[in-house]
Structures are given as C-alpha cells and as structure tokens.
C-alpha cells in the first residue's frame, strides 16, 4: 500500500479565487489520479497525472480550470481556478501501485462561498 | 461508457447479521474491480481488489465475488459490527492506458448495536 497525505484538509474560499491542493506519497509511483466527489455523489475522475508528461483530462474537465503539476514521482498539485459555489466538493488524489490497485488520500473538503 | 450501479443505496441491520452488498456494471471488459469503504468526511480505504481472472477475494470477515460475464460483484460482510457502519463503494477499472476507475454511488451501511 501507500501512505498519501493531502494539504489542506479543508478550506473555505471566496468565489473567483483559486486554491492549490497538494498530494504527497511516501513512495515513488508512476500513476497519480485526481478525483472530485460532489455533495451526495460518488467519485468522478478529473485527470490522470503521470510524471514527465502532460496530465490527461476526462471529458468535462479542462486544464484552464484544473491545472495539474507532477514535478516528481512522489508529489502532485491540483489547482481549482476561478472558483464558483459549484466547485464545492471533496477533492481526492489517488495512486496506482501493484497491478493497478488504487489507494486514496484523505481528501480536501472545499467550500466556495 | 461504463456505468456502475450499487444496490441497495442504504441498508440498516442489527449487529451480528450477515449481509450482502451488490454492484453491477454495464461493460464486462474490465481489468479489475475494487471495493472501498468511506467514513463520513474521510477518504477511501481499499478493502478488496479482484482481478478480472479471479472469482473471489477474502479478507477477514469480508468476501467479494466477481462474475465478469454477467457484470456483477457482491461484497459479503459476516457478523456485522457497529464499526462496519460506513459507505461502501464499488469501482471498476477498465484497464487501458490510464487504469481509470468508474465508481458506483455507494451503499450507506448502518449497523445498529
């Protein structure tokens, strides 16, 4: 398995601002993923972030709104840009380890006013 | 497009009861299936991973089965305890180049003492 930490654990932000979420893993991993969980809903994949390449975004998510960095094999950031109340969600990062089993971080709970 | 359905949406049982959670998926061309547990406001804990070539996996009081051809998986919990109360999520991995997980909406389990 892997130990994954996220910062911040929660935040309350004003509309129009941006928030950068950090994800740190205790071991080197190739595949990192960012998910969104809207209130009362299940998880939806935002993008896949592999080190050394551009992030791959899912349908409905764009780089201008959710820029992602992956500078090395243990760290990634997701920025939620120009936020609106509809962006209020839990954002989770995950990593793929052995035979594609995925492990998740504790999540970042974002509230946009 | 893969769709994952979990039934029931919520389940309340007395302590000690054995129970079954159901998961169905529309595209049987999967790489693996993973069951997770999510406590309120928290991240996901991986419970069991079943590869597409496997029929079941066991961990303690948990047993997960997979019938890929019919697009179904079940999570069996034996001798339920109040500490088992959580939301249980089923996620299907379609493989390919990014090992994307598609999640169901989950089953909210309450075990009453």
pLDDT digits (tens, 9 = 90+) for B22-58: 999 999 988 899 999 999 888 899 999 999 999 999 9
Residue B15's pLDDT is 97
Q: Which of residues 65-104 of A touch B (CB under 8 A)?
A: 90, 92, 94, 96, 99-104
Residue B99 to residue A102, Cβ atoms within 8 A: yes
Q: Would you call A113 an interface residue with chain B, using a CB distance cutoff of 8 Å?
A: no
The residue ranking higher by pLDDT, B100 or A20, is A20
Nearest-angstrom CA–CA distance, A49 and A68: 7
- Kindly report whether the peptide bond that precedes residue A5 is cis, defined as omega within 30 degrees of 0: no
- Per-residue pLDDT for B97 more than 80? no
Chain B: residue nearest A97 by CA?
B99
- Per-residue pLDDT for B96 more than 80? no
Written as tens digits, the pLDDT of chain A (113 aa) is 789 999 999 999 999 999 999 999 999 988 899 999 998 888 999 999 987 778 999 999 999 999 999 999 999 999 999 999 999 999 999 998 755 788 999 999 999 99
Residue A70 main-chain phi, psi, to 5 deg: -145, 75
The residue ranking higher by pLDDT, B10 or B31, is B10
Residues 6 or more apart in contact with residue A40 via CB below 8 angstroms = none
């Amino acid at each position: 398995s892997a130990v994954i930490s996220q910062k911040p654990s929660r935040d309350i932000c004003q509309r129009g601002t941006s928030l950068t979420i950090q994800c740190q893993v205790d071991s080197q991993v190739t595949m990192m993923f960012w998910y969104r969980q809207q209130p009362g809903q299940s998880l939806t994949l935002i993008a896949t972030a592999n080190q050394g390449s551009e992030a791959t975004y899912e349908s409905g998510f764009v780089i201008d709104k959710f820029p992602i960095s992956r500078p090395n094999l243990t760290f990634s950031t997701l920025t939620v840009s120009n936020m609106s109340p509809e962006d209020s969600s839990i954002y989770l990062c995950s990593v793929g380890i052995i035979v594609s089993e995925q492990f998740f971080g504790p999540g970042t709970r974002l509230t946009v006013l | 497009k893969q769709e994952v359905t979990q039934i029931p949406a919520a389940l309340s049982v007395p302590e000690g009861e054995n129970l079954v959670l159901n998961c169905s998926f529309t595209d049987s061309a999967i790489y693996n299936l993973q069951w997770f547990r999510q406590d309120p406001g928290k991240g996901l804990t991986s419970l069991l991973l079943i590869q597409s070539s496997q029929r079941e996996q066991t961990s303690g009081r948990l047993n997960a089965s997979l019938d890929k051809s019919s697009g179904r998986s079940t999570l069996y919990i034996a001798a339920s305890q109040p500490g088992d109360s959580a939301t249980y999520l089923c996620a299907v991995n379609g493989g390919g180049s990014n090992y994307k997980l598609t999640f169901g909406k989950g089953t909210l389990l309450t075990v009453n003492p």
